[in-house]
């Protein structure tokens, strides 16, 4: 951080800027399939309705 704050090198600053732009635009949601997105949206609705179960209950039905 100290080196970044004290540099006047335009190429270094531009490189750092590009890294931040790339990270900002990278959204995992866009990398999911539509089926995966639909499952997440469905789960979100179920959670908001209180349609959940405890971890222990879930695990006991899958053992």
Tens digit of each residue's pLDDT, the chain (63 residues): 888 889 889 999 999 988 888 776 667 888 899 999 999 999 999 999 999 988 998 899 888
Contact status, residue 62 vs residue 56, Cβ threshold 8 Å: no
Instruction: Please report the pLDDT score of residue 21 as a whole number.
Output: 82
User: How many Cα neighbours within 13 Å face the side chain of 24?
Assistant: 6
Instruction: Please report the pLDDT score of residue 49 as a whole number.
Output: 94
* Spatial distance between the Cα atoms of 50 and 1, rounded to a whole number of angstroms: 45
Non-local CB neighbours of 13 within 8 Å, separated by 6+ positions: 7
* Spatial distance between the Cα atoms of 61 and 38, rounded to a whole number of angstroms: 24
User: How many Cα neighbours within 13 Å face the side chain of 40?
Assistant: 9
């Amino acid at each position: 951080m100290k080196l970044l704050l004290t540099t006047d090198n335009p190429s270094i600053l531009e490189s750092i800027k590009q890294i931040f732009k790339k990270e900002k635009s990278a959204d995992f949601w866009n990398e999911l399939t539509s089926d995966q997105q639909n499952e997440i949206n469905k789960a979100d609705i179920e959670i908001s309705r209180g349609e959940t179960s405890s971890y222990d209950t879930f695990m006991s039905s899958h053992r």
